[in-house]
Structure 1
Amino acid sequence: MVIESLWFLIVGALMILMAIGRKFVERLPMTGAMVYLVVGFLLGPACAGLLTIDLQCDVALLRTLTEAGLIVSLFAIGMYLRIDLSNPLWRLTLRLAGPAMLITIGALFVAAYWGLGLAAGPALLLASVLAPTDPVLANELRVEEAGDDEPLRFALSSEGGLNDGAASPMVYIALALCGVHTLGSSNPWTFALAIAWGLASAAIIGWALGTGIVVLVTKLRTHYDHALGLEGFLALGLVALAYGATLIVDGYAFIAVFIAGVALRRQEMKATGEKPPNEVLESVERGQREEAAKDPELAHAYIAENMMGFSVEMERFVELGLMVIVGSVVSAHWQELLHWSVIWPVLFLFFVARPLGSSLSLVGSSMDRHQRALSGWLGLRGVSAFYYLLFSLEKAGSATVANLLPVIVAAIVLSVFLHGSSATILLDRYLSKR
């Protein structure tokens, strides 16, 4: 009972302190993720011993929690991207989520295979887990509001939304090399077809559900005064439907959730036009919200902004919970993270592999040299890397993943502190010169 009471006190105090001190934290070269990581470390085995995470025994539960948090974040990012699909900015997304990630994986694979002496399967698995950027911790890098078309922010935001799913095929290839059977892995041709199906099914399901749900709900509201309120239920319901439906058909469900958010925002754009949704709704008083939800001219903007607002709020809880868990894992394994053989691959990722992939993929793009340099540095690793670590541990077992765990955890910790402390400063300087 005492431990239970203590946990309520700790969680309550942490939430209130972050709510009160958020502006103070934002003025410093630090982020909420840093605070949560340190709290998790202090609560873990190395200090208080109140939070002990057993990755072996709790892997399925931890993977499910991380998965659930990640898809909420992917949906929120999709809804932030209020840009027409014909806009050239989306080409930056494809460059970073495709060629940039593949080059990063290739460079990391070489480093892991030749530098760490890993077999081909584990080397590719390590590279594939660490290559995608993180959507949850990248709050400082994200577009500031729906419709923000600043190129660097848009590219980093959309990359984080897309490349978590785009990394899945490489993770499956790596697991197949480690002896883990995956869909179509027994034959190169069937595996290629499985990848094509995974991408296509995710796009179709995500777009169909994102479009269909908003069309259905707005029609019920504007024509029949039904389905009013509970935007949070709608948001989580759409996320769960898109994710579950895509998993059932063996598609890449992370991509489906992201696309569902983009599709929902696309419907709002078609209904609202060029005017930003926050301007459309700025004249709506608190007591008139139900009327706004039923107004054909306001309904799409109302549902999109409320669903996005709920998703972003949920994302903050995800960040707190998961980074405290990661901090506890660090607390249990901190001595393993101090070896040079663990640290140098992470530094290679940050200072060589990621900048190389980003720079080469953006050659000839609309980004200038300064923007390309920033995109090469500002590639956070966090919840997505932790998810793929847990996924690999669950599928391949500790015998395969044990040697990779310290490197992956070290990458998360160093990214939280190095990227987190520099992101705000670099972005402020960049934006002040625009």
Structure 2
Amino acid sequence: MTNAAWFVLIGTLLIMMGLRSPFFQRLRLTPSIVYLAIGITLGPSILGAFHFNPLKQAHLLEVLAEIAVLVSLFIAGMKMPLPFRWREWHAPVRLAFLSMTISVALTAAFGYYVLALPLGAAVVLGAILAPTDPVLATDVQVRHMGDKDPLRFTLTSEAGMNDGSAFPFVMLGLAMLSAPVSFELLGTWVLKDVLWSTVAALVVGVLMGRLLAQLVWKQRFLISEGPLLDDFLGLGLIGMVYGICLLLDAWGFLAVFAAAISLRQSERKLASIHAPGEEPSSAPAIQVLPEESTPQHGTQVAEGSLLFKESLERLSELVLVMLLGGMLFLDSWSFRAVGLALFLFVIVRPISVFLGLLGSGTPVRLQMLVGWFGVRGIGSIYYLMFAIVYGLPEELALEFIHITLVVIVLSIIIHGLTVKPMMSKWWSS
């Protein structure tokens, strides 16, 4: 396809999505399903108008997926309606860490015993497919800053954290591929990839979010030198936090999510301390809006930067899902790939959720819905490309590409077609 044809196609799609086409609304099709259908039609599976080779373009695809996940994690963190208190957050934390571990273990067992993969490769595959996705799961995400729906909150906060908690298992699998398993290898992995990288990420994220909130508050309400560029502030926070984590060998995805939550909650706390009537006379008045509306009292950078980032998230979804369709061949649909996908959706996800939330007091109905909506997507693409760039053997890389693409495509279709009726039933009850 020519550049002109691509511009026309993408422009048409954006207009159709922007107008919320009645045709797609009646069919209850999610945007991801539409983008995927077009990508598959134009790709090598049907018309062959374009083909994107993920093995040759692994570096490019890694960066594209990395940016999409970072933006989506920041948006998810900004929308979190509750400060971090164990009473409200215990279920998502258990899902993101305990259920994640169980999911990796079950998927790795399938890869080792059924697919006959080496143990290290099976662990890498489990880590690639285990995290749920914050990019493609928009229909089950927190919609705005006042959205306190328990299902949306649980799924969004889980996806925000498990994109970071999966990283240690990727590193463990890659280490097992290059060296025999030993107590020394496992000890180094626990200390460096689990404890240090996780704790450092949380500390960096929380501190940087709080520091930016303090800086913005002083600049805006004490110095009052004019309007600030909230989009730049949000993007700058993402870049700084992620860059620091790369330097420290900490998990940047987890840090960016923590930074967004810290920024928003710090702004709310500062606003509550300097409530209207108590703030300095030189400060502009803050308009307090209802909880259901998107802008929140005291969340200046949060509300000011969300609009642009949500548009960036939708654009990255369009590009990456269409590229996904351009990677698929008809022979990608092997029994191994489809079998693993069904095993992941029907067995691994429900069991890992049930075991992870055992004894938590989470309602059974909520557990069942969370156990179904384990959407896989751009996060899995990033981890796959990361493993390939890291040095995954080519034979394993090719098989993992086919398996991961089939899992994501089936997730987009199956979860996309069931999300609206199941969410409607959830709200009506």
TM score, norm. by length of structure 1: 0.89
Deviation, structure 1 residue 87? 5.2
**Contact (CA 8 Å) 1:30, 1:417: kept in 2 or not?**
no
Structure 1 stretch 369-378 or stretch 214-223: which is displaced more?
Answer: 214-223
Distance in 2, Cα, partners of 1:50 & 1:387 = 25
Indicate the residue corresponding to 1:427 in structure 2. Answer: 423
Shift of 1:272: 4.0
1:403 pairs with 2:403: no
Instruction: Please give the alpha-carbon distance, in whole angstroms, between the structure 2 residues aligned to 1:27 and 1:84.
Output: 38
Q: Equivalent residue for 2:293? A: none
The yes-or-no answer on 1:313 pairing with 2:308 is no
Q: Distance in 1 between matches of 2:393 and 2:235?
A: 31
Greater displacement, 399-408 / 204-213: 399-408
Structure 1 counterpart SS, 2:138: coil
Contact 1:122–1:401 (8 Å) recurs in 2: no
Deviations 1:56-80, CA, capped at 9 Å, x for gaps = 2211111011101110000100011
Among 370, 376, 383, the residue aligned to 1:375: 370
* Equivalent in the alignment of 1:391: 386
Corresponding position of 2:159: 160
Pairing 1:112–2:75 present: no
Kept in 1, the 8 Å contact 2:220–2:228? The answer is no
Cα contact 1:76–1:311 (8 A) shared by 2 = yes
Shift of 1:302: 2.8
Aligned residues: 411
| 1:324 aligned counterpart, secondary structure | helix
- Listed one character per residue, the Cα deviations across residues 159-193 of structure 1 (whole Å, up to 9, x for unaligned) are 01000100000010011111189xx9963322222
**CA–CA distance in structure 1, aligned partners of residues 240 and 16 of structure 2:** 35
Residue identity opposite 1:224 in structure 2: I
Is the contact made by 1:242 and 1:257 (CA closer than 8 Å) also made in structure 2? yes
Q: Distance in 2 between matches of 1:26 and 1:104?
A: 34
How does 1:37-48 map onto structure 2 within 5 Å?
37-48=36-47
Q: Which runs of 5+ in 1 are unaligned?
A: 275-279, 281-292
Per the alignment, residue 271 of structure 1 pairs with 270
**Residues 348 and 227 of structure 1, relative CA distance in 2, 3 Å threshold:** farther
Q: What's the CA shift for 1:259? A: 0.4
- Please name the residue that 2:341 is paired with: 346
Is 1:336 matched up with 2:325?
no
Q: CA deviation at 1:399?
A: 2.7
Counterpart in 2 of 1:324? 322
Which residue of the other structure, out of 335, 354, 361, is the alignment partner of 2:356? 361
Question: CA, structure 1 residues 386+265, in 2 after alignment: closer, same or farther (shift >3 Å)?
Answer: same
CA distance in 2: counterparts of 1:210 and 1:300, whole angstroms: 14
Note closer, same or farther for the CA distance 1:421–1:272 as it changes in structure 2 (3 Å cut): farther
Q: CA RMSD in A?
A: 2.4
Cα pair distance change 1:100/1:227, threshold 3 Å? farther
Q: Matches of 2:231 and 2:47 in 1, distance apart?
A: 36
Aligned to 2:124: 125
- The alpha-carbon distance between structure 1 residues 212 and 199, as it changes in their structure 2 partners (threshold 3 A), is same
The change in CA–CA distance for 1:294 and 1:174 in structure 2 (over 3 A counts) is farther
Q: Contact 1:134 / 1:380 at 8 angstroms: preserved in 2?
A: yes
Query: Does structure 2 retain, via aligned residues, the 8 Å contact 1:97–1:159?
Result: yes
Residue identity opposite 1:161 in structure 2: G
Q: Matched residues, percent identical?
A: 32
CA distance in structure 2 between the aligned counterparts of 1:87 and 1:112, rounded to whole angstroms: 35
The 8 Å contact of residues 45 and 52 in structure 1, kept in 2 or not, is answered as: yes
Determine whether 1:302 maps to 2:300.
yes
Equivalent runs, 1:26-105 vs 2, <5 Å: 26=25, 28-86=27-85, 88-105=87-104
TM value normalised by structure 2: 0.90
Contact 1:74 1:135 in 2 (8 A): yes
Q: How far is the alpha carbon of 1:416 from its aligned partner?
A: 0.2
Query: Where do 5+ consecutive residues of structure 2 fail to align?
Result: 277-281, 288-296
* Deviation of the 1:82 alpha carbon: 2.2
Question: What is the one-letter code of the residue matched to 1:423?
Answer: V
Residues 15 and 24 of structure 1, relative CA distance in 2, 3 Å threshold: same
1:231, 1:310 within 8 Å by CA — same for their partners in 2? Answer: no
Change (3 A) 1:117 1:397: closer
